[in-house]
Amino acid sequence: MECKELKKVLEQYMESGRINEDALKHIDACKDCAREYNIIKEMKEAFAVKESVKIPQDFNETVWKKLDEGQAFSWQRAFKSVFSGPAVPAMATAVTAILVIAFVLKFSTVNNIQKIAQITKPVTIKAENKTAVLQKKVQQKKQEIIAAVKKAINQGNHAQAKNQETAQNKAPQQNQAPLPQDMQPQQIAQLPAVAQAQAKEIGMSSVRQTSQPAQNTKNINEAEAKDTPTAETSKESLLIKNNVIDPVKGESVTIQYNVTQPANILIKVYDRLGENIKTIESSYNKQPGLYSDYWNGDDDTGAQVSSGIYIIYIKTGLVETKTKVCIIK
């Protein structure tokens, strides 16, 4: 007999418990088959042991007791059956996770929208109280000057009307008008320039460039026409453009500010930890004019700063403020 044949015999032996003599001879000769036979024998012996559990005397009573308990509905048992199962930890974790995600999503979305709206909104910083007081003074002075100029012009027109009959050609009013009684011609000629100078001195908003000469009354008329409100004046004091930039694309923050009288200018960039990473402008006694500074997202060493929120501190003669700038790469 071969080992293959013996395997079939052993299967039959497992089923019936009987084995023929040929198979036994082979088992005596073959070590592997002997080992297999012994294992099957052990299995059969193990299964053959009939161990009966001793039945307790109150078995039937216990069953009936359980049945009686089962028939009466109990909220406690119902609760136990639902919440004491092995799946409860998984269920509880899942429910908690869903609640947390829902909570985070809801509030983070609202906050993000608000933050984005704040960041992307064009930043226009109003002048502070100090500036507002100055602007009122400017307004008053301006009106006084305009009134004086108008008076002078009216007086000039009146004199011109009187001389119209004798005059052949129409010369400019100011040149040909007879002098008013209380003003010299030189004074009239000088008035617009003085007004301009005064306006410049008190920081009129319509006068943008100090280098631009103001020689005639046209400028004053423009000033009258543009009689700007305080908000506009404050707008022109400081203007920050592109406060969300991507330095990689070559974008930069533009800080435009107005200097009406010599003042110290300080523009610095701070990170969220309050560390000064860049000084954009630090000028002493800067002359009046309209200036623009740019920040392209680098620090004092010239390296690009990482993405995030930065704060630009601006101090001019008119304004002292801080504004947030977002760097997104």
Partner 1 sequence: MEELDFNEIKKAQKGDKKAFDSIITVYRQRIIDLCSRYMRRTDEALDMAQEVFCNAYGELKNFRYKSKFSTWLYRMTVNMCINRLKSLKRRRFFETGSLTADEENNEKQIDVADARMPADKEMEEKDTRNIVLAELESLEPDEKSVIILREIEQVEYSEIAEIMKMPLGSVKSKLTRAREKLKQRLIKKIGD
Strands across the sheet containing 238-241: 238-241, 253-259, 289-295
Long-range contacts (CB closer than 8 Å, 24 or more residues apart) made by 22-28: 25/1, 26/1, 26/2
Question: Least separation, in Å, of the C-beta of 326 and partner 1?
Answer: 45
Question: Least separation, in Å, of the C-beta of 82 and partner 1?
Answer: 14
- Give the whole-angstrom CA distance, residue 239 versus residue 165: 55
Question: Least separation, in Å, of the C-beta of 31 and partner 1?
Answer: 11
- Is 48 or 225 the residue whose CB approaches partner 1 more closely? 48
Question: Least separation, in Å, of the C-beta of 101 and partner 1?
Answer: 23
- Give the whole-angstrom CA distance, residue 310 versus residue 192: 46
Type of residue found at 188: I
Given a contact cutoff of 8 angstroms between Cβ atoms, the answer to whether 314 and 321 are in contact is yes
Question: Least separation, in Å, of the C-beta of 62 and partner 1?
Answer: 6
The residue ranges that bind partner 1 (CB under 8 A) are: 11, 14, 35-36, 39-40, 42-47, 49, 51-53, 55-56, 59-60, 62-64, 66-67, 70, 85-87, 89
Q: What are phi and psi of 295, to 5 degrees?
A: -130, 120
- Is 74 or 306 the residue whose CB approaches partner 1 more closely? 74
- Give the whole-angstrom CA distance, residue 3 versus residue 161: 143
DSSP-H helix ranges across the chain: 3-16, 21-29, 31-48, 59-71, 75-83, 88-120, 129-163, 173-176, 185-202, 217-225, 230-237
- Is 26 or 278 the residue whose CB approaches partner 1 more closely? 26
- Is 87 or 117 the residue whose CB approaches partner 1 more closely? 87
- Is 97 or 231 the residue whose CB approaches partner 1 more closely? 97
Question: Do strands 308-315 and 289-295 pair parallel, antiparallel, or not at all (unpaired)?
Answer: unpaired
Question: Least separation, in Å, of the C-beta of 81 and partner 1?
Answer: 12
- Is 92 or 167 the residue whose CB approaches partner 1 more closely? 92
- Is 55 or 225 the residue whose CB approaches partner 1 more closely? 55
Question: Least separation, in Å, of the C-beta of 94 and partner 1?
Answer: 14
How far from the centroid of its chain's Cα atoms is residue 90's Cα? 37
- DSSP class of residue 30 equals -
